[in-house]
Structures are given as C-alpha cells and as structure tokens.
Copies of this chain bind each other. A is one copy, B any other.
Amino acid sequence: MKCYTPSDLGQMDKFYRANFVNSLSGVKSANLVGTKGRNGIENLAIVSSVFHIGANPPLMGVLMRPHTVPRDSLQNMKETGLFTLNHVNSSIAQAAHQTSARYPEDESEFSATGLTPFYSHEFKAPYVQESHLRIGLEVQDIQKLDINQTELVIGQIVEVFVDENIVSTTGYLDIEAIDTIGVTGLDSYHKIQRIAQYEYAKA
C-alpha cells in the first residue's frame, strides 16, 4: 500500500483531488433531492451525502455544498422548509447523474432529464415518480459548518412511500429488492448484493 500524505494531496490538481477525496468515504447512498421554488420551478439534484440522524423523532441529514450544483435546491429548502429524498435505482441512474449538470435557473431538472414529478395530497415538494422509495421531509434546522461553509440540512420525516412487501417483520427495509443503488467517488454507480445479515451483536 502507498501512504498518501498531506503533501501528496496538496500537489494533486483540483479535479484529481476532488475525485480522490470523494472516493474515500466508501459506498455512498444515491438520492435525488426534490424541491419546488417560490417561482414554481421544480428542482432536482443528486446527492451522495444523506445520512441517518435519529429514529425518534425520525430525522435525516443531507450536506449541501453551496459552491457546487444544488444551490437552487438549498435555496428552495430554506424558503419552503420542504424537500423530498428519492432513492436512485438502476433504471434512472443516468437521468439522476444528469441532474448534476448546470441548467439555466428557469429550467427544471425534471423536464431536462425526463424524470416525472409526483405529488402526494399533503406535501408541496415534488417526489420522483420513477423512484421506488420516496421520503417527504420538513426542514427542522440548517447548521452551517464553519470549517468550509457547507450546510447541513436536517429534515424530519413526514411521509414515506414504499412497497410494504419489502418491509420485514423487524422493520428492516429490503432496499436491494427495489434496486436501490449506491455511488462511489463522483460518478460511479453500483448495484448491491447482500452477503450477510447479522443478529444484534452481543459481547
């Protein structure tokens, strides 16, 4: 194995380093953030930084990097307090990746990529109809990370759309069965294949 040092990282060019460091966190979730602006434009942005914050209350976090693409999405989250998270599956991987392009402000990534907005009766942010697991969230807090001005959006779950057949008797969701995929680095998408499911660990 090679040991990469801060000096090695410092000498990498910008895009090489972005690829390299983005690869280090391992297999990441691929989710589409759906929002609607006050101007009525529906935004959609792929993110790989969604994580579990707590089960009760049910909270999820997504780190938004204002200097990269999902700027409109972040603004919509702030202005409306609502967003959706939609699992990416293999059928929509290419369209999901394409949402990361810089479209003009008045163009929706839904129409640009061919994905279909879906609205529930109760919730004003758009879901992705082609996604097999869709979550509606209300913004509870936004914490700026002083270290590099990224913003951690914390949302509370208010709706979850999923086929109840994948929910086990213990509450586990078999997201492999609905073809949820993962991402590595900035641009590589992966199916998942279960190798083991273990009991609650005891000493």
- Contact status of A198 and B24, CB under 8 A, knowing A49-B52, A143-B145, A148-B53: no
**CB <8 Å contact, B148 and A57:** yes
User: Closest approach, in angstroms, between the C-beta of A85 and any C-beta of chain B?
Assistant: 8
User: Closest approach, in angstroms, between the C-beta of A123 and any C-beta of chain B?
Assistant: 10
Interface membership of A82, Cβ < 8 A: no
- Contact status of A182 and B146, CB under 8 A, knowing A101-B202, A172-B187, A195-B93: no
Q: Report how far A10 CA is from B159 CA in the complex, Å.
A: 12
Interface digits, A2-44 against B, CB 8 Å rule (1 contact, 0 not)? 1111100100101111111111111111110000000000000
**CB <8 Å contact, A148 and B54:** yes
**CB <8 Å contact, A3 and B160:** yes
Interface membership of A181, Cβ < 8 A: yes
- Contact status of A194 and B189, CB under 8 A, knowing A3-B159, A51-B49, A152-B152: yes
Interface digits, A162-203 against B, CB 8 Å rule (1 contact, 0 not)? 111001101111011000111011111111111111111111
- Copies of this chain, how many? 2
Q: Report how far A94 CA is from B199 CA in the complex, Å.
A: 10
Interface membership of A135, Cβ < 8 A: yes
Q: How many residues of A contact B (CB 8 A)?
A: 111
Q: Which residues of A36-68 have CB atoms within 8 Å of chain B's CB atoms?
A: 48-61, 63, 65
**CB <8 Å contact, B26 and A175:** yes
Q: Report how far A56 CA is from B12 CA in the complex, Å.
A: 10
**CB <8 Å contact, B4 and A159:** yes
Q: Which residues of B contact A135 (CB under 8 A)?
A: 24
Interface membership of A79, Cβ < 8 A: no
**CB <8 Å contact, B197 and A1:** no
Interface centre among A25, A26, A50, A172 (most CB of B within 10 A): A26
Q: Which residues of B contact A61 (CB under 8 A)?
A: 63, 145
